[in-house]
Amino acid sequence: MTDVRPSIEHVDGFRVAGVHAGLKKDGRLDFALVVSDTPCVTAGVFTTNRFKAAPVLLDMERLAANPTGLRAIAINTRCANASTGEEGVRRAKAMAKLSADALSLNENEVLVLSTGVIGTQLPLDKIEHGVDLAAKSLGREWYAAAAAIMTTDTRPKLASVTIARPDGGRYEIAGIAKGAGMIAPNMATMLAVVVTDAAINVPLAQKALSAVTQTTFNRVVVDGDMSTNDTLLLLANGESGVVIDTAGEYAEFLEGLHAVCRKLAQDIVRDGEGATKFITIHVTGAPDDAAAHQIANTIATSPLVKTAFYGNDANWGRIMAAAGRSGVLLEPERCKLWIMPGEAMELGGIALQLFDNGIPTDYNEGMATTIVSEAAVTVFLDCGMGEGSSVVWTCDLSHDYVSVNGSYRS
């Protein structure tokens, strides 16, 4: 298991900055730059929402045209630049051009990410101010960069690993992310930038990122809403001198990338808007893995399940009802349900069985309440139908979630 740090010290050839451009009214950091000293091999995964934001459309186009020559990413908050028409695309390009000019790059070497309110145009005067400040303060301030991309997040999200090779070589994989609301699979509502100073070719980079996304960012749920701006980027500049080439080297890289992305994805759930609990939904015994994920995701997005957890109510009926409406043909008499305190990947320890053979067990209600009152709870559902399994991470739904989203634009 790769050890993941909740911080980033240094990644060879990368410099970052987080500044206050005036996008947020309270003086908080709101604009970031991530810059490589040399061209990067770049891979990306983007939202599947049909209403893709202007920066997503621009980045998809530039990534397809230049996957080995990208150098920088500019990120703004407060304005999603989504549903903004041709003017929104023009302003996304202008943001890239402003960044490129400040960094002495070609504008096609720059990608842009935006997050915030849908339907508002980018304030280019503030973007220009942010670019100027960030370009002059580039360094190792990864925490500031992570803080500068937050919207309703309450804390920055960072993760990094060091991979040491038997031959003495070593390289870093590090990432920052933002996300707290509008979180749903395909692929969780978030922005994330992962960088590495290892060298890897485009097909392997994209293969690794796509694979890791399926078991990390596509396994988290806060509220079931998918954003217009989801973007996950991987940039590799090769500055460490380590090359990912053989099957063994790729497997090692994949493990490190997965560790970083899993940490970032889980941090998004832990910081879910108004969340008080981190909940693991583990479904086994489904007809196949896809069916297991469908069941787990239905449970994880159920408002009734999520509010029961918030109220410390071990209401197993809501969990089984959600599984029953998932669209997977289940047989109630084959299903078994347990709850456990903490974050568990295997059934064991203090596991309390609530449901078996189509009816509730003779469980202790007080013990059930104690378990669901924990800050972290695991739900195990064995469908008894096959070998399929899946894990989804979610959170509860509290009064504060309504408060945050009821006044999001103010």
Q: Supply φ then ψ for residue 189, to 5 degrees.
A: -80, 105
97 residue type, one letter = K
- Separation in Å, CA 364 to CA 70, 310, 314, 360, 374: 58, 20, 11, 11, 16
Contact of 152 with 115, CB cutoff 8 Å: no
Is 158 in contact with 142 (CB distance < 8 Å)? yes
Tokens of 74: 């500019």
User: Sheet holding 336-341: strands in order across?
Assistant: 359-360, 352-356, 336-341, 376-382, 278-286, 388-395
Contacts of 336 (CB under 8 A, 6+ apart): 353, 355, 356, 381, 382, 384
Q: Is-catalytic flag, 115?
A: no
Degrees to nearest 5, angle at CA 236 with 235 and 241: 165
Residue 318 structure tokens: 């809501």
Which residue is catalytic, options 42, 84, 189, 298? Answer: 189
Question: How deeply is 179 buried, as exposed, middle or buried, from its count of CB atoms within 10 A (0-12, 13-18, 19+)?
Answer: buried
Positions marked active-site: 189
